[in-house]
Amino acid sequence: MAKEFRFPDVGEGITEGEIVKWHVKVGDIVDEDQTIAEVETDKAIVEIPSPYSGKILKLNFKEKDIVKVGEVLAAIGGKEEGVAEETEQQPEEIAAQAEKPAAGIVGEITESKKEIKEVKATPKIRKLARDLGVALEIINGTGSEGRITEEDVRRASETKEKDEGERGKKAEPKKKAKYDFYGFLDRIPLRGVRRATAKRMAESALKTALVTHFDQADVSGLAKIRTGLKARAEEKGVKLTFLPFIVKAVISALKKHPVLNATLDEDEEEIIVKKYYNIGIAVDMPDGLIVPVIKLAEHKSIFQLAEEIQNLAEQAKDRTIDMADLKGGTFSITNVGMIGGEYATPIINYPEVAILATLRIDDRPRIEDGEIKIKKTLPLCLSFDHRVVDGAEVGRFMNDLIYFLENPGLILVDQESE
């Protein structure tokens, strides 16, 4: 008897993925745990193993299709069973096969669901649901302890309106122009990392009151120390950049200004200060940004940080990074210095409170004792959520950050053990 294999919940809040490659075709015999497909999520490319042994009777998606958690990827039957005829399954038919709706997805309410479903929602959220005509009983809350959030309700409302608009009619293929009035066009599908980046940037812009503070640090002394340590780093097989020093300085400043190492719980109206330091490092990809997270960075030396940054960046670029390494961040750093630039307004990695952009280290004029001197300086651009922290506190944070960068001996006390 054929068994349905549904796209599993791979964790970390993933709700959908793009089929990158099928490793099987209809009629193939597979073993349990054999990889049958590679799926690209907004975080990494994951291998999908078969939960059963048997024959592939049907594949419901093609390569480059988007599949949502719970949708049927394939039908797997006994080795002697005949394969199904190749018929294209309509999106609405696929969606109807899901065992349960994803977070925020609306569907029909059965009496049994009404009896067993516990709804966790504030009065404000309940009123919003009534206004939008959404039943809370069939929404899977994404908030703490399954609490239903405003975003869950609005997502469910959008899905409901879309379903109602498409119900009863077959979608016609949309014709896309290959040129406009001025010339020919290329169309690049918004997929994978770029698609996730677009969503996260829009979410951050919508949910934060973003302000950016600009400053500079004289890193002439730090540059000399880094040069002196490069040989030791090479002996350890590590490329020593300025970034590990910046991470150390950031942590030292965050300890003096903990509100920047926090998140805002809008439902409970609380600022949640994190008493640990998981530092996200933005990695430039051809199709977007991935932010691996260095866990408990406060306990790691300069060389340990350099090695971990190097390893995580390599894993991110070849898409083999573990999804656990992409979550849990408390503060992010985006280093565009290797590319260039003087100023930037980085977008906060929501739900964090702040993000630091470091620009190109270069020789720049500075005035000391009434004289113009050329110093190696580092432009610093800190974007912060003004709902949580005010400009004066950010100014004090930046002053301390600059102090630690300009006095690097204070952040190197743990190197003696190396």
Give the SS3 label for residue 399.
Answer: helix
Count of structural domains within the chain? 3
pLDDT digits (tens, 9 = 90+) for 219-245: 999 999 999 999 999 999 999 999 999
Q: What does the pLDDT average to over 149-160? A: 84
Pair (134, 245) in one structural domain: no
Domain check: are 286 and 396 in the same one?
yes
Assess whether 168 and 260 both reside in one domain: no
**pLDDT above 50 for 367:** yes
Dihedral sign from CA coordinates of 150, 152, 154, 156: negative
Amino acid, res. 239: K
pTM of the model: 0.69
Q: Which domain holds residue 307?
A: 194-417
| Whether residues 122 and 216 fall in one domain | no
* Weakest mean pLDDT among 43-47, 124-128, 289-293, 407-411: 43-47
Mean pLDDT computed over 110-124: 59
Higher pLDDT among residues 160 and 95, named by residue: 160
Q: How far apart are CA 393 and CA 249, in angstroms?
A: 17
pLDDT value of position 415 = 47
Q: Which residues are catalytic?
A: 386
Q: Above 60 in pLDDT, residue 285?
A: yes
Mean of the per-residue pLDDT values of the chain: 84
Same domain, 114 and 211: no
292 and 223, same domain (yes or no): yes
- The larger pLDDT score, comparing residue 132 to residue 1, is at 132
Q: Determine the pLDDT at residue 98.
A: 41
Domain boundary (96, 131, 158) is at 96
What is the residue-wise DSSP string for 180-242? Answer: -SSSB-------HHHHHHHHHHHHHHHH--EEEEEEEEE-HHHHHHHHHHHHHHHHTT----S
The answer to whether residues 222 and 271 belong to one domain is yes
* pLDDT surpassing 80 at residue 287: no
Q: Which residue has the tokens 């503070």?
A: 213
Distance CA 355, CA 342 (A): 17
How much is the pLDDT for 130? 81
349 and 220 in one domain? Answer: yes
> In this predicted structure, what is the pLDDT of residue 202?
92
pLDDT confidence of residue 103: 40
CA dihedral 278, 284, 285, 290 (to 10 degrees): 20
- 230 with 371, same domain: the answer is yes
